[in-house]
Amino acid sequence: MTKANVGFIGLGLMGQGMATNVVRKGWPLAVMAHRNRAPVEALLAEGATEVKTPREMAERSDIIVLCVTGSPEVLSVVEGADGIAAAGKPLTIVDCSTSDPSVTLKLAEDLAGKDVTLLDAPLSRTPADAAAGTLDVMVGGADDDVRRVWPVLECFAGRIVHTGPTGTGHTMKLLNNFLAMGYAALYSEALMLGQKAGLTPQVFDSVIRGGRMDCPFYQTFFRWVLERDPNAHKFAIRNAFKDMSYLAAFANASGAANPIGAAVRNSFAQAVGTGHGEDYVPMLSDFIAEANGIK
C-alpha cells in the first residue's frame, strides 16, 4: 500500500517524539523549523525532508499533523499568507494541539469550503510516551475521515478513542486536563496544609501511594515533590493556565457554572502572574507552599 505524504508542524516536547515515530514507521515526512533547529536536524537524519513554510508543506502533503500550543498558533499556520490553506489543494489537517473547541468548529467549517478537512486529535500522557509511541489520542471527525488518518495516529499512539464529530476531541481534552490540573491543584494545597501540621511530603506519600487515591499522574507529580526530578512531568504551568482558560470559555458559552474549574484556573493564574509560567506543573506545589510561608 502506498503511504500518504505526511507533514508535521510543531516539533516541541511532544511533537519531536511523535514525528520521529512517523518517519521511523515508513511514512514520507516533511518538517519545518520554528525557533529551534535541533529537532529538525534530528528528523532529517531519520529521513525526513525540510520545508520552509506551511504552504510549501501543504503542497507536498496529503495529511498534516499540527502539534502547536493552542488555537492562535493553529490559525496562524493554517490561515496566514503562507499558511496551509493558501496552497489551494485538498488535504487533511490533524490538530493534535489543545485548542478551543469553538475555534476548531469555526475553522473546520471555513476549511470545508476549500476542500480541506480538519480533525481534532489532542493528546494525553507525556513527552516520554510521545517518544515511545504510547500516547493516548482522542480524535473528533467523520468516520471516513478518522479511518483515513488512523494509521498515522497509530505511529505515536498506544490508545485511540474516536470521540464523535469534529470538536469533540478538543472538548474531551479540556475535560481530561481539567481533571489532571485539578489533581495538581489539590495535591499542592494538601501538601501545604500537611506541612503546616508537621506532616512531611514523605509521610503524605506513604499514605497515598498504593492506596485508592494513587494514579500515574500522582506518581509523576511526586517524582518532583520527593526526588526533585525536573523532567517528571514536562508540561508548563502557563499551558495549564491556558487550558483552564479555554475550559472557562467553554463553560461560559454553555451557560454552565463551573466553580471548581474557576478555582483550579486561579491556582495556575496566580503562579503565572508571579513569574512561574515556565515552571512545570508539579512545581505548582512549591508555589503554593511559598505563598503560604513554607519553603
Helix or strand holding residue 234 (H, E): none
- Listed in sequence order, the residues at least 6 apart from 153 whose beta carbon sits closer than 8 Å to its beta carbon are 94, 121, 137, 139, 160
- Residues 227, 229, 232, 234, Cα dihedral to 10°: 150
Q: How many CA atoms lie within 13 A of 82 on its CB side?
A: 7
Is residue 23 within 8 A of residue 7, CB to CB? The reply is no
Least Cα distance to 130 among 203, 207, 39 occurs for: 39
Closest CA to 143 of 123, 121, 173, 164: 164
* Of 248, 237, 243, 247, the residue nearest 280 (C-alpha): 237
What are the backbone angles phi and psi of residue 139, rounded to the nearest 5°?
Answer: -115, 130
Instruction: Give every CB contact of residue 148 below 8 A, 6+ residues apart in sequence.
Output: 63, 92
| Cα gap 77→155, rounded to integer Å | 23
**Catalytic amino acids?**
173
Q: SS3 of 30, please?
A: strand
Question: The cell 490553506 sits on which residue?
Answer: 85
Q: Are 106 and 127 in contact (CB under 8 A)?
A: no
